[in-house]
Amino acid sequence: MLNFTVGPVTLDKEVLKIGSKQMPYFRNAEFSTMTLESEELLKRSMNSPLDSKVVFLTASGTAAMEATVLNLFDKEDKLLVVNGGVFGSRFSEICQVHSLNYKEIKLNFFEDLTHGDLIPYDKKGFTGLLINLHETSTGVLYDINLVKEFCEKNHLLLLIDAISSYLADPFDMEGSNANAVIISSQKALGLPPGMSYVVLDKKSQDRVREISFKSVYFNFNKYLSDGERGQTPYTPAVSNLLQLNKKLKYVDKKSVTKIIQETRELAVHFRNEIIKLPFEIPTKSPSNALTALRPLGSISPESVVQSLKMNSDIYVMPNGGELSSKIFRVGHLGAITIENNQYLLDEIKKNLKSIS
């Protein structure tokens, strides 16, 4: 089986080894020390301000998005949501369900966010901006510098979902003036799904303390307070935290730049080859994490996805909803290689004969 989805991705041997071992008891000093080390490594990997803190949340990315919005904003806030696909819509859904005051910058699928998109919202009393750094459903990587400037000028709290971009595209939390950054275990970190990590700068931590958000499990105050001593208020996914520590040490040793460079090489190699076949890449600014592909002529995305699965035991990602008949996606995360890419390309070629 070859896995070109973007989560769960193909895990590396070190991570699998931990999955095959007994877990230690976690309410003790050893585990606390490890978690505090992971916090520092995680911050270093995205250049978070030194006084940032990490919330280790046992739940998937959507939970982290919802919890972070509700810990940082309340009904007094006026929020801007950049919505260019499924995950932008999810931020909108969260705001809508919780009756927060928000406006959507609705982008067409595959479209970049431009200066022009932001102008109508300049000096209009907004207090926060929510954006997916990489809109996973379309593969678009937004221009973070544009967002940074706009947020600085308008004094907005900037919440970034970097779930599918972290360790795939260059990102600098301090450099982009982000106040809160959400990542998850199952994307470029290459861990099993089940945990999310939210990095909060000083300003966000202050907001968490000010906001009277009513929740037990999602109350970040408790996570920040127990986090001081490297613990979580409720039983975390212990094996996931062990795997995280191992992976972050690897990332630190190898360097984030090199890891991103390798992912970029995988993406560029694949893109250079796939456009020689009857496919086009609908995004102008693709993330290194994945490539969205529109089949040309009469080939349907579903038929490519299905033929790869049935004939070649290769998994690529179909899209849902409106996009299901337009595109599918090929991921570049996890333990995959240029040789795997080449095999995928060869198999696509073979399968095209029967489906086109």
In the complex, which residues of this chain contact a copy of itself (CB under 8 A)?
1, 3, 5, 7-8, 10-11, 16-28, 58-63, 66-67, 90, 93-94, 97-99, 184, 186, 192-195, 214-217, 233-240, 309, 315, 318
Nearer of residues 18 and 80 to a copy of itself, judged by Cβ:
18
The structure tokens 């000083």 sit at 202
CB of 62 to a copy of itself, least distance (A): 4
Structure tokens, 26: 């976690």
Cα separation, 225 vs 233, whole angstroms = 9
Nearer of residues 299 and 317 to a copy of itself, judged by Cβ:
317
Phi-psi region of 197 (alpha: psi -120 to 50; beta: other; left: phi over 0): beta
Phi-psi region of 198 (alpha: psi -120 to 50; beta: other; left: phi over 0): beta
Nearer of residues 53 and 90 to a copy of itself, judged by Cβ:
90
CB of 27 to a copy of itself, least distance (A): 8
Nearer of residues 116 and 320 to a copy of itself, judged by Cβ:
320
List all residues 6 or more positions away from 263 whose beta carbon is below 8 Å from its beta carbon. Answer: 167, 168, 188, 288, 289, 332, 333
- The distance from CA 344 to its chain's CA centroid, rounded to whole angstroms, is 24
CB of 19 to a copy of itself, least distance (A): 3
Nearer of residues 26 and 73 to a copy of itself, judged by Cβ:
26
CB of 215 to a copy of itself, least distance (A): 7
CB of 214 to a copy of itself, least distance (A): 5
Q: What is the torsional sign of CA 116, 117, 123, 127?
A: negative
Structure tokens, 88: 């932008």
